[in-house]
Amino acid sequence: MPYEVVDSPRARLGECPIWCEHTERLWWVDVLAPKLWSYDPAAKVCKDHPVTARRIGSVALRSRGGLVLACDDGLYSYDPETGDQQFLMDPEPDAIGHRKNDGRVDWAGNFWIGTLREADYAPVGAIYRVDPELGVERIRGDLAIPNGLAFDEILGRAYYADTRAYAIWVRDYDAANSTLGDERLFARTQAPARPDGSCLDSEGHIWNAEYAGGRLVRFAPDGQISQEINLPFTYPTCCCFGGKDFDKLFVTSASEPLSAEECSHQPLAGHTLVLDVGVRGRPEWRTSI
């Protein structure tokens, strides 16, 4: 499939792309650098936004403007125009050696965030839901690398994955009443491919980046694979729809753990691609945190 390449520096671990329709810019992070990047497709300008953190796991759009950053030591508000960064809270303040990972906002404005233990990726991570008043609820524990957060308001569903467990789960979700149904298996990936970041399209299908699998997979609402797209790198990490009509699919990737020699054979590893997959996406929800 044809693709464009976002002109930006190679990321160690590119992650969490989100599209802001107000500014018509793509945002994503390099977790390990750490870096926060934005890209204006119209001007073809990529910008580095200085952030104070050891790690940035993910980023969310804020309804009042600006962003929420999920850093290793908690959530921060962030003004990309001034660089002002203010601590908000930490959903897991007493977990030594943990950092934040994938995050996404649901249609009620709650910010869901996963945590993991970086030293060994033992199954001691969790998923938390942070409401607009900064109240915290622990949704799921015993996860090694919580990932794949996505929300379908039409079907009333919450999706999440554990990259190390090769599994994506789904739960019925009533956001207005903050109630969740029982967890059920949605899909499994086959080794070496691991489920990483996800997004929803306008038809209610889930797109998932298969880390170590070198491809994107589109799942129908019943969990069956409806499309597969091979990519020019081994470690795609996440995806999102964007562009004026949400008709472009942006895909981030990692250059680690590739060796220098492997990187020479995968020159696009760590870069972000833009694909036309023949279906439109949905806007990201915003949080009032």
Q: Edge-to-edge, what's the strand order for the sheet holding 35-40?
A: 14-20, 25-30, 35-40, 45-49
User: Which residues are the active-site residues?
Assistant: 196
3-state secondary structure of 165: helix
First CA to last CA across the chain, in angstroms? 39
* Sign (positive or negative) of CA dihedral 188, 190, 191, 195: negative
Cα separation, 85 vs 53, in Å, equals 10
Q: Torsion over CA of 239, 244, 245 and 246, rounded to 10 degrees?
A: 10
**Residue whose structure tokens are 């739960």:** 171
Alpha helices in the chain, H assignment, sequence order:
260-265
Cα of 106 vs its chain's centroid, Å: 13
Question: 171: closest CA among 182, 155, 185, 187?
Answer: 182
278 to each of 1, 241, 246, 275, 281, how far by Cα in Å? 11, 11, 11, 9, 10
* Sign (positive or negative) of CA dihedral 169, 128, 70, 20: positive
Cα separation, 163 vs 145, in Å, equals 5
Q: Edge-to-edge, what's the strand order for the sheet holding 67-71?
A: 56-61, 67-71, 74-78, 85-89
